[in-house]
Structure 1
């Protein structure tokens, strides 16, 4: 699919997608005959990971680190030359778990902030005639 469709599906601006391309976070899987980038569902899924990490405060370097770990784990195929050493696989899994735990902590912090904001809005409503 073309970048416009990807932007619609991910709800990301074209400029943001291009910035992610420039930083190497996402690489279009193909190109049209005219040389325009084309994206697959896997590329869209990758952009969604990035999109979900951003509001949780993860940096681009952290995002890159997680995506690299996920890519290496996804490419791990048993009994092939690409099969990961068990220690490397364990390290990668621990890295992904660490990001999952960090995301869970950040979600909890955001929920607490939202609860305080809702309390504040409610207190203001209570003061209005």
Structure 2
């Protein structure tokens, strides 16, 4: 039997945790630091989140392993939201798109650094495996 959702399709924090793979504590932390807007509350006081909050948390989750600062996360979220709202002047839209391109370049750079670290770690693992075989 499918669980009935509230008419507005809002999710409680446990459901958001399940969908994002983030702990309740982490979700509350992102609220506290302003990366996630304060959620609505049920009549019983439970936090209620919409689809946008889940999407935002998934974005944050993608940024976290790349060592983005909270400010960078906040900035990217704002750029994406402004672009999604529409109604922008051509100049403002171009400015926001350039900002998005800058973030893309930063992600590409961070990926390059991570690839180098993985290659180094793989070479080290091979070295240790060889050493282990030699000593057996």
Give the Cα–Cα distance (whole angstroms) in 1 for the partners of residues 101 and 42 of structure 2. 37
Give the Cα–Cα distance (whole angstroms) in 2 for the partners of residues 126 and 59 of structure 1. 39
The alignment of Structure 1 onto Structure 2 pairs a total of residues equal to: 123
TM-score (norm 1): 0.89
2:114 to 90, 110, 113: 110
Give the Cα–Cα distance (whole angstroms) in 2 for the partners of residues 91 and 28 of structure 1. 28
TM-score (norm 2): 0.85
Map of 2:75 onto structure 1? 65
Give the 3-state SS of the residue equivalent to 2:22 in structure 1.
Answer: coil
Q: Mean alpha-carbon deviation: is it higher for 14-23 or for 36-45?
A: 36-45
Give the 3-state SS of the residue equivalent to 1:103 in structure 2.
Answer: helix
Contact 1:2 / 1:37 at 8 angstroms: preserved in 2? Answer: yes
Map of 2:94 onto structure 1? 90
Matched, 1:3 2:13: yes
Aligned CA-pair RMSD:
1.2
Cα displacement string for residues 17-71 of structure 1 (whole angstroms, at most 9, x for unaligned residues): 1011111111255321212211122211100111111110110001000100111
Shift of 1:102: 0.5
Give the Cα–Cα distance (whole angstroms) in 2 for the partners of residues 114 and 13 of structure 1. 27
1:126 to 91, 105, 130: 130
Structure 1, unaligned stretches of length 5 or more?
Answer: 77-82
Matched, 1:12 2:22: yes
Give the Cα–Cα distance (whole angstroms) in 2 for the partners of residues 31 and 89 of structure 1. 34
Shift of 1:4: 1.0
* Runs of 4+, deviation exceeding 2 Å: 28-31
Give the Cα–Cα distance (whole angstroms) in 2 for the partners of residues 118 and 111 of structure 1. 10
Matched, 1:49 2:59: yes
Contact 1:28 / 1:39 at 8 angstroms: preserved in 2? Answer: no
